[in-house]
Amino acid sequence: MSPSRKLSPREQLHADWLGMLQPEGLVVSVPVLVEADAYVRQPPETQAALRALCADDRLADRGAFEHLLTDAFGWPANRLARPDCLEAFAVPLPDLGVVLRPDGALVDRDSAPLVFVAWSDDTLDAPAGDTRWPVSRHQRFERLLLESQTGRGAGTPVGLHACPTAVRLTYAPRGEAPGSLTFPIDALCTWDGRVLIDALLMLLGRERLFTVPQDRRLLALLAASRKRQEQVTVALAGQVEEALALLVAGVDVANTRTRGALLRDLGHASAPAVRDGLVGVLLRLVFLLYCEDSSVLPMDHALYLDNYSLARLVEKLEDDRVLYPEAMRHRYGAWAHLCALFRLVHGGIRHGDLVLPPRQGDLFDPDLHPWLEGRSSAHAAPGDLPPIDDGVIADVLDRLVYLENQRLSYRNLDVEQIGSVYEALMALEVHRCATRTVPIRGGGWLELGEVLDAEQPLRVVETATGLKERELLKRAPALARFKVTGDRRADEASLVQALSALLDGDRPERGPGQHVLVGGAERRRTGSHYTPTSLTRPIVERTLDPVLGEAPSSERILHTKVCDPAMGSGAFLAEACRYLSRRLLDAWTREGALPPADTGDPLLFARRMVAERCLYGVDKNPFAVQLARLSLWLVT
């Protein structure tokens, strides 16, 4: 059954306006807004008043912006910091010879800042015009928010940055990735923009900042959304495990359809090959979903979007499930779609104006697990694809795309949060059944042959169920009377009857040669664990700050070598890349040696330089190596 459902009217309202704005990173989440009962429909007069402030669908100047704050948002004049008080919020950056300060601040009754305010005559993402530090106005403001939360404590993670064409709410808590919501002024002034006005005033109106209970005020909603995102990470890991179990079962069905030909060349060692191949498929899917949501892949090109994208495949399967529910187990186009997409990413494409550089690497290599394409070996010619049906792929993608009954936004996940997938998958193994195998409540499996062949059958059942003998016999008292007679068929029937209270009736049995997903020791053996950004960032800063000193040269930074000898999914290396690239850009600025304009974003160029020259990692688990490489690829 699909974990998705139709959104409630209130959920749909929030999903609609968030979809219109396309947030950069995570600012606020739908579940938190719904739980806080945050939505308030504004009367038409509110939009009329805003239009009056925005002649020609623009904010004319800083004065118009200040009127927006006081007249439309209702910010009390006595809570706006006086100009002579703003120096208390200044943040010096001595390395760059720059002092950052807000143009205004909304403060509480103790004069502590709630929201920093800034105005730009140019666009928010335009260069700031400071040759000493050539970053955008938004990047400067974001840095102000981050740096203001250290030292004296006269800071805030919340900022409101405006220009003639847009108002942007930024949330940049220390130690976490920043996020922003940009409200275009012209969109606010249209008929469809009423929902955006509702959202803008819901977040930044006087009531949200001063009147409602503390746990429903703006900062509390933003913080709760980040906390909810941590829960999303854990929940996603659980659903990825479900997706792997569905794929394992789907491969067994496909193997039956081919009369055993699909897995024949793997022989009795099929279990590790099935596990490695299907884990690789799930890692591919998760990273592709992240790339599509983050526009790393060409989602704006119709050829890719309509013929290759996962997003369009999800939509098609959802439509097919409504139109042809009985045929989903007899249609096989979705697996072919995935195989084509995997090859496209691995080998790249150049067709007209659609250009996608080859990704290469092990993860998308079609020759690493050729059985996924129905080939007997890496050198075998293409044959018939495995008949993995559309119903299986639809169920798998549901587990990856929907969470808490809502569409999951991968663009709001940090690269490190994708490591939760790695954590979940490394704890699992695939077991090839030698005899009839029954499902145990709680997710386990019990192979009947192991029980019947054991000198102490009860001990095998204890291990499979995790129950001690006393509790086991309390739940299944018939086990105390069970005896092996030597008649295999009769003994199996008798054992299943004795186990009836422990069996999971929602999952089918497995036969000899089929596969089941079981908990494994791989994660314990390799020490693999998901590491959140809130942990990696302070550790990286405290480790590398004394190594580099206050104002290191670019040469010193690029000669710094960072090695993680047990890198897992690359969380520490990804954060080291971010940290060193920031320091490198600062050093280039001091030295007047910024990269040429044709290299693109200077910070992104710095990240690529750091990844190429400074970062090294080792892990005994090959999937960890693949995941770490992809993490750095996404960061750079």
| pLDDT confidence band for 447 (50 / 70 / 90) | very high
Q: Which residue has the higher pLDDT, 311 or 406?
A: 311
Contacts for 295-300: CB closer than 8 Å, 24+ residues apart: 296/634, 297/345, 297/356, 298/354, 298/356
What pLDDT score was predicted for residue 400? 92
Select from 534, 623, 611 the least CA-distant residue to 576: 611
SS3 label, residue 110: coil
- Domain closes at, from 186, 216, 246: 216
| Structural contact between residues 487 and 465, judged by C-beta atoms closer than 8 angstroms | no
Query: Quick one: average pLDDT of 290-301?
Result: 87
Angle between helices 571-591 and 622-635 (to 10 degrees): 30
What pLDDT score was predicted for residue 20? 85
Q: Which residue has the higher pLDDT, 599 or 581?
A: 581
What pLDDT score was predicted for residue 570? 86
Q: Are residues 240 and 208 in the same domain?
A: no
The CB-side HSE value for 476 (13 A sphere, CA atoms) comes to 23
What pLDDT score was predicted for residue 531? 67
Q: Is the pTM of this model over 0.85?
A: no
Query: Quick one: average pLDDT of 448-463?
Result: 89
**Percentage above 70 pLDDT, the chain:** 95
What pLDDT score was predicted for residue 516? 92
The Cα–Cα gap between 583 and 194 comes to: 43
Q: Are residues 209 and 232 in the same domain?
A: no
β-bridge partners, 93: 98
Q: Are residues 160 and 257 in the same domain?
A: no
Q: Are residues 303 and 403 in the same domain?
A: yes
Select from 569, 301, 544 the least CA-distant residue to 420: 569
DSSP 361: S
- Structural domain includes residue 19: no
What pLDDT score was predicted for residue 26? 84
Confidence check: pLDDT of 602 > 90: no
| pLDDT confidence band for 505 (50 / 70 / 90) | confident
Confidence check: pLDDT of 458 > 80: yes
SS3 label, residue 414: coil
| Structural contact between residues 635 and 612, judged by C-beta atoms closer than 8 angstroms | no
The Cα–Cα gap between 194 and 90 comes to: 36
The Cα–Cα gap between 402 and 239 comes to: 9
What pLDDT score was predicted for residue 420? 65
- Within 8 A by CB and 6+ apart from 467, the residues are 475
Cα first-last separation, the chain:
38
Confidence check: pLDDT of 334 > 90: yes
What pLDDT score was predicted for residue 2? 44
Q: Are residues 195 and 311 in the same domain?
A: no
Confidence check: pLDDT of 573 > 70: yes
What pLDDT score was predicted for residue 594? 76
Neighbours of 167 (CB within 10 A): 22
| E strand residue ranges, 29-173 | 91-93, 98-100, 104-107, 113-119, 158-163, 166-171
What pLDDT digit, counting tens, does each position of 416-437 carry? 777 767 767 777 899 999 999 9
Quote the mean pLDDT of the chain: 87
What pLDDT score was predicted for residue 69? 92
What pLDDT digit, counting tens, does each position of 169-213 carry? 999 988 777 889 999 999 888 887 888 999 999 999 999 999 999
What pLDDT score was predicted for residue 423? 66
Neighbours of 370 (CB within 10 A): 19
What pLDDT digit, counting tens, does each position of 234-283 carry? 788 888 889 999 999 999 999 999 999 999 988 877 899 999 999 999 98
Q: Are residues 549 and 580 in the same domain?
A: yes
Query: Quick one: average pLDDT of 99-124?
Result: 91
Confidence check: pLDDT of 13 > 80: yes
How wide is the angle at C-alpha 13 spanned by C-alphas 11 and 16, nearest 5°?
105
Confidence check: pLDDT of 527 > 50: no
What pLDDT score was predicted for residue 6? 66
> Which residue range forms the structural domain that includes residue 551?
533-635
SS3 label, residue 378: coil
The Cα–Cα gap between 282 and 244 comes to: 7
What pLDDT score was predicted for residue 9? 82
Confidence check: pLDDT of 396 > 90: yes
Residue type, 344: L
Q: Are residues 391 and 505 in the same domain?
A: no
- Structural domain includes residue 20: no
Q: Which residue has the higher pLDDT, 414 or 80?
A: 80
Q: Which residue has the higher pLDDT, 597 or 328?
A: 328
Confidence check: pLDDT of 597 > 80: no
What pLDDT score was predicted for residue 404? 64
- Domain closes at, from 216, 243, 265: 216
Q: Are residues 481 and 572 in the same domain?
A: no
Q: Are residues 290 and 360 in the same domain?
A: yes
| pLDDT confidence band for 153 (50 / 70 / 90) | low
- Structural domain includes residue 199: yes
- Structural domain includes residue 154: yes
| pLDDT confidence band for 131 (50 / 70 / 90) | low
Select from 38, 45, 12, 23 the least CA-distant residue to 199: 38
Q: How many helices (H) and strands (E) does the chain have?
A: 26, 17
- Structural domain includes residue 267: yes
Q: What is the 3-state secondary structure (H, E, C) of 126-155?
A: CECCCCCCCCEHHHHHHHHHHHHCCCCCCC
Q: Name the CA radius of gyration of the chain, rounded.
A: 28
Residue type, 583: R
Q: Are residues 443 and 544 in the same domain?
A: no
Query: Quick one: average pLDDT of 374-395?
Result: 91
Residue type, 290: Y
Q: Are residues 573 and 543 in the same domain?
A: yes
> In Å, what is the CA distance from 372 to each residue of 275, 376, 508?
12, 10, 24
- Structural domain includes residue 5: no
Domain count, the chain: 4
Q: Are residues 325 and 422 in the same domain?
A: yes
DSSP 58: S
The kind and range of the H/E element at 402 are strand 402-403
Query: Quick one: average pLDDT of 391-408?
Result: 87
| Structural contact between residues 556 and 548, judged by C-beta atoms closer than 8 angstroms | yes
- Structural domain includes residue 30: no
- Domain closes at, from 480, 512, 544: 512
Dihedral sign for Cα atoms in the order 459, 464, 469, 472: negative
| Structural contact between residues 320 and 331, judged by C-beta atoms closer than 8 angstroms | yes
- Structural domain includes residue 105: yes
Select from 409, 464, 473, 415 the least CA-distant residue to 441: 464
The Cα–Cα gap between 263 and 254 comes to: 9
| Structural contact between residues 572 and 533, judged by C-beta atoms closer than 8 angstroms | no
Query: Lowest mean pLDDT: which of 150-159, 176-185, 321-330, 448-457?
Result: 150-159
The Cα–Cα gap between 116 and 298 comes to: 35
What pLDDT score was predicted for residue 405? 66
What pLDDT score was predicted for residue 233? 77
**Percentage above 90 pLDDT, the chain:** 42
Select from 151, 246, 202 the least CA-distant residue to 18: 202
Query: Quick one: average pLDDT of 64-82?
Result: 90
